[in-house]
Amino acid sequence: MKQGGNDAAAPRCPPHPGFIRGLCFLCGVKEENTEGGAPELAIGDENEMMKQGGGEGAAAAARCPPHPGFVSGFCSLCGAKEEDAGGSASRHAVGNVHGDPAPPASATTTTVPRASDLATLLRERKLTLILDLDHTLLNSTGLDDFSPSEERNGFTSSTRDDPGMGLFRLDTYGVPVLTKLRPFARGFLEQASAMFEMHVYTLASRAYAMAAVRLLDPDGVFFGARIVSSAESTRRDMKSLDVVPGAEAAAAVILDDSDSAWPGHQENLILMDRYHYFASTCRDFGYDISSMAALNRDEREHDGSLAVVLGVLKRVHRGFFDSVLDGDFPDVREVIREVRRQVLLGCTVAFSRVNYMEDFAEDTPMWTLAERLGAVCEVDVDETVTHVVVEDPGTEKAQWARDNNKFLVNSEWIKAASFRWCRQDELDFPVTRRG
């Protein structure tokens, strides 16, 4: 179906169910040519879609066929239950595992996922939340890619599902993987859904995305059909809000483990501490560390990364809606910026031979990060300095910090503060002589 000013499409559609970017999401006709034929609530929210799948499911099915596809048993367009649809839908197109090119999909299998318009979200005191999958909500590995330590802990090619551990075996297009849900993933989604309309955005294939989302959201209540995969993304290596239906930069929060994936939306991004449960992904990112599976441990639910970021999202949500003045809403990017600035507010940091760029310290990523966290950064030390960040305890600045009873920490102190969104105990980041 071509979108645009095809006026002939209008007679076949009214009443138009709603519009996305000025186009009817069912027939594609321009809103300006419809003479007001759409309901005021342009695109229904998740609760409305679920209601349609209940007692009105049969009626909804009669209005919609052919149904474009189903997610967790509900039509992605009208919300009718699959059991009421009489087999009138084609299944969603699926691709290969993890970023492999997806098979060609017809127009009927790549419909834009439903999303609420901004006005509706704000009336419900909700914002948009875009969530990455891999290393943010879960971690997957090939069944033939376990380390010797992981194999000693019982991980083999025959490992089966263990829901108690959050382990699930996926087989999309004949490529089996073992997927580990991040601790607190489902609890996080449940609580976040009260504040946000949530979307998944992954650069993996649609087959993998759909299978992974079914693990996280088996009843389809958190995401519905709001899933963007490599099949819908305009770039293989970058993400953009432009392909997220209904997302407006002023009211969208992004949760991802990769800042480079969002070059145009850094101010919307909350960077996640990467979840590396399996050794294969540690190797893929060049980390010379043992995986959690090899160490036979995991993040804790009550104070792990997802629990921490849930607290941040609550602060952002509260800050956004508490700042409404005479019906005018703030920009969520300003709210995120202010919440971040509270992390190291009151700290004055001097750097010594960090990345061996002391002559250009202001241009280093660590300096920039510290400033974004609210710290004042200095090249030279004086009585105002509270922290000296060094890698070598033998430098003059390190000695000055000891002589003047200042905090002496390594650069991981700043990184940890950025992921934990609060000032960390300096004693946990000692400066020790290398070698």
Residue corresponding to tokens 């890619």:
145
Tell me if 118-322 shares its fold with 342-428. Answer: yes
Architecture of the domain defined by 342-428: 3-Layer(aba) Sandwich (3.40)
Predicted confidence (pLDDT) at residue 218 exceeds the cutoff of 70:
yes
Predicted confidence (pLDDT) at residue 223 exceeds the cutoff of 90:
yes
- Tell me, what's the pLDDT at 26? 43
CATH number for the segment(s) 118-322: 3.40.50.1000
Average pLDDT over residues 290-313: 97
- Tell me, what's the pLDDT at 92? 32
Q: Are strands 175-181 and 227-228 parallel, antiparallel or unpaired?
A: unpaired
Predicted confidence (pLDDT) at residue 323 exceeds the cutoff of 60:
yes
Query: Phi and psi for 151 in degrees, rounded to 5?
Result: -65, -35
Q: pTM of the entire structure?
A: 0.73
Per the DSSP assignment, residues forming a β-bridge with 254 are: 130, 269
- Tell me, what's the pLDDT at 173? 66
> For residue 30, what pLDDT band results from cuts at 50, 70 and 90?
low
pLDDT (tens digit per residue) in 100-127: 443 333 333 334 345 678 889 999 999 9
d(CA 171, CA 302): 31
- Tell me, what's the pLDDT at 364? 84
pLDDT (tens digit per residue) in 234-274: 888 899 999 998 899 999 999 999 999 999 999 999 999 99
> Distances from the Cα of 81 to the Cαs of 43, 54, 89, 227, in angstroms?
18, 7, 11, 19
Closest CA to 378 of 362, 397, 365, 391: 362
Note whether 350 and 384 are within 8 A (CB): no
- Domain regions of the chain by residue span: 7-92, 118-322, 342-428
pLDDT (tens digit per residue) in 366-415: 999 999 999 999 989 999 999 999 989 999 999 999 999 999 999 999 99
Residue corresponding to tokens 């002023």:
250
Residue 118, both tokens: 């901004």
Handedness of CA 22, 225, 70, 233 (dihedral sign): positive
